Structure formats: structure tokens, C-alpha cells
């Protein structure tokens, strides 16, 4: 019985010491804690207001929405980090070790996320300089498609077959890029016999191309003699078709040209072979 009373007494003494420590802590640091909390609340409020102001200002200047939000978020985080450091100092906590640890973590994260950070930097460059925008047709790294999405880390292209090509932005910035906007150029050659009138053939092909409203009228189609081959006069035609209908328009134009040449008695030569009998 005495042992149990002794144990209970020790537990009560331990609880009393713990209680005294808590009371002493709040007596000594209550104002610091309240001040730190107030600083944090004010800091979060200011960070939100400043971020909203920056976002509205950038949008008023017609800046890209993705870049605008990135800048606003970066400013908000910077203010919150600064306020948190001030709050820690208010509590009497030395922030030097935290700064050293934060620096080491930032270096490690930077090395680990080097590729991702490169993509982010390239994305900011694309959004700021606008070498292309959503809806443009671009060719980069051997891939062609209509720009569907521009993100900070990557850009998505869409092909005529609705395939999506995701290209990391670091593979776009600094590379040779072709931007043909909404259209893609179609280049092809039609051979006619030497006894056919090339002027007539060129006029017929021009009229066929003009029948298609989908073909760009801003960039005039070009039709002319490309070369004099062994068995044909090769006429080249160049026109701009909507990227999303590139193959569809090309197939329709080819069929229409074939039918128009046939109706105008303009023959397309075909290979002939001389068989030598032994």
C-alpha cells in the first residue's frame, strides 16, 4: 500500500513539474506567441492581397494567364516565407540553422529537379516571348501538330488523327521551330505528256484549287512547271490546307485534279517498257 502511495505521489509530482513548465512557458512567451500568430495572420492576408493585385495587373496588361498565375503564386510564397522567418525570430528561435538547412535542401532539390526546372524556365520563355500560341501549327523535333495546350513544363500538340504529342519545353526553346499558324503547306507534282499544253494544265489545276473554300486564300496557291522529265512535264502545285484537315483536303484535291485533267484531254503519262525478245 505504501509503495502505491509513493508511486502516486511521484506521478503527481511529475505532473506538477510538467504543469509548472507549461505555466512558466506561457508566462514568459505568451506575448511572443501572440505576436508571432498575429504576424502570420497579417502576413497571409497581405500575401493574398498582393498576389491578387499582381494577377489583376498582369491580366490588365494582356499577359498570358499561365505566366500571370505563376508570378502571382511566386510572390505569394515569397511573402509567406519571409513572414514565417520573422515569426520564428519573434519567438526567439535562431533562424540561422534553418536558413542553412533550407539552402542545402534547395541545392539538393535543384540538382534532383534539374530537368523539371529547365522545362519550367523554358515554359516561362515560351509564354513570355510567344513564338507560338494555342491554335498555331508548329513543327519541332520532327513532329508537326496544332498547339493544343501550353503549360510551364510541357506543350501538347494535336495531329489530324486527334493524337496528342507531349513535348517537354526544354526541347522547344533553342531549337529550330517552324510556325505555319493554322495551315500546313501541301506540295506535290503532277506529270503531263509532252504533247499536252502546259498552260492549259496549269489553268485547270488553278481552277480546281480555287473551288475548295478550306484552302487558304491569304497565301495564294502556286502552280507552275517544275521540271522537264524524261517522259513528262512535271507541274508542281503548292497550297495551304488546314492542318486538322491536311490529308483529307489533299486527297480531295488530287481526285479533283485527276478528273479535271481527264475532262480537258490532258493525259498523265504512265511508264512504258520495251521487252526485248531473244
Q: Report whether CATH 2.30.30.60 matches the domain 132-180.
A: yes
CATH topology for 183-263 is Alpha-Beta Plaits (3.30.70)
The whole-model pTM stands at 0.62
- 190 neighbors 268 (Cβ within 8 angstroms): yes
**Sequence-ordered alpha helix ranges (H) in the chain:** 2-60, 65-90, 96-112, 114-129, 198-210, 246-263
pLDDT-based confidence at 74, cuts 50/70/90? confident
102 or 257, greater pLDDT:
257
pLDDT-based confidence at 207, cuts 50/70/90? very high
Give residue limits of the domains in the chain. Answer: 2-112, 132-180, 183-263
The pLDDT value recorded for residue 87 is: 79
Alpha-carbon span 82 to 116, nearest angstrom: 25
Which CATH architecture best describes the domain 2-112? Answer: Orthogonal Bundle (1.10)
Q: Judging by DSSP bridges, how do beta strands 222-228 and 154-158 pair with one another? A: unpaired
Say whether 183-263 and 2-112 share the same fold: no
Q: Which of 68-82, 125-139, 149-163, 233-247 has the lowest mean pLDDT?
A: 68-82
130 or 11, greater pLDDT:
130
Q: Cell numbers of 195, please?
A: 504533247
pLDDT tens digits along 89-117 = 766 666 666 666 666 666 555 554 566 77
Alpha-carbon span 175 to 168, nearest angstrom: 12
pLDDT tens digits along 156-169 = 999 988 999 999 99
Alpha-carbon span 216 to 210, nearest angstrom: 10
Amino acid at each position: 500500500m505504501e509503495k502505491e502511495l509513493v508511486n502516486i505521489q511521484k506521478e503527481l509530482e511529475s505532473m506538477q513539474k510538467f504543469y509548472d513548465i507549461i505555466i512558466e512557458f506561457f508566462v514568459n512567451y505568451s506575448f511572443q506567441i501572440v505576436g508571432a500568430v498575429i504576424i502570420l495572420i497579417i502576413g497571409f492576408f497581405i500575401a493574398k492581397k498582393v498576389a491578387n493585385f499582381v494577377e489583376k495587373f498582369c491580366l490588365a496588361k494582356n499577359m498570358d494567364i499561365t505566366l500571370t498565375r505563376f508570378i502571382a503564386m511566386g510572390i505569394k510564397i515569397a511573402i509567406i516565407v519571409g513572414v514565417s522567418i520573422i515569426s520564428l525570430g519573434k519567438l526567439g528561435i535562431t533562424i540561422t540553422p534553418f536558413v542553412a538547412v533550407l539552402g542545402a535542401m534547395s541545392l539538393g532539390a535543384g540538382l534532383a529537379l534539374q530537368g523539371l526546372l529547365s522545362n519550367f524556365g523554358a515554359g516561362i520563355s515560351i509564354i513570355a516571348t510567344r513564338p507560338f500560341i494555342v491554335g498555331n501549327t508548329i513543327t519541332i523535333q520532327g513532329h508537326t501538330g496544332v498547339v493544343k495546350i501550353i503549360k510551364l513544363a510541357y506543350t501538347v500538340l494535336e495531329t489530324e488523327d486527334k493524337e496528342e504529342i507531349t513535348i517537354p519545353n526544354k526541347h522547344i526553346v533553342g531549337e529550330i521551330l517552324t510556325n505555319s499558324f493554322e495551315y500546313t503547306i501541301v506540295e506535290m507534282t503532277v506529270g503531263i505528256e509532252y504533247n499536252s499544253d502546259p498552260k492549259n494544265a496549269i489553268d485547270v489545276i488553278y481552277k480546281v484549287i480555287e473551288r475548295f473554300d478550306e484552302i487558304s486564300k491569304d497565301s495564294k496557291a502556286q502552280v507552275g512547271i517544275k521540271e522537264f522529265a524524261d517522259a513528262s512535264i512535271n507541274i508542281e502545285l503548292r497550297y495551304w490546307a488546314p492542318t486538322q484537315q491536311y490529308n483529307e483536303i489533299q486527297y480531295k484535291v488530287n481526285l479533283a485534279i485527276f478528273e479535271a485533267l481527264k475532262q480537258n484531254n490532258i493525259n498523265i503519262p504512265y511508264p512504258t517498257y520495251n521487252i526485248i525478245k531473244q
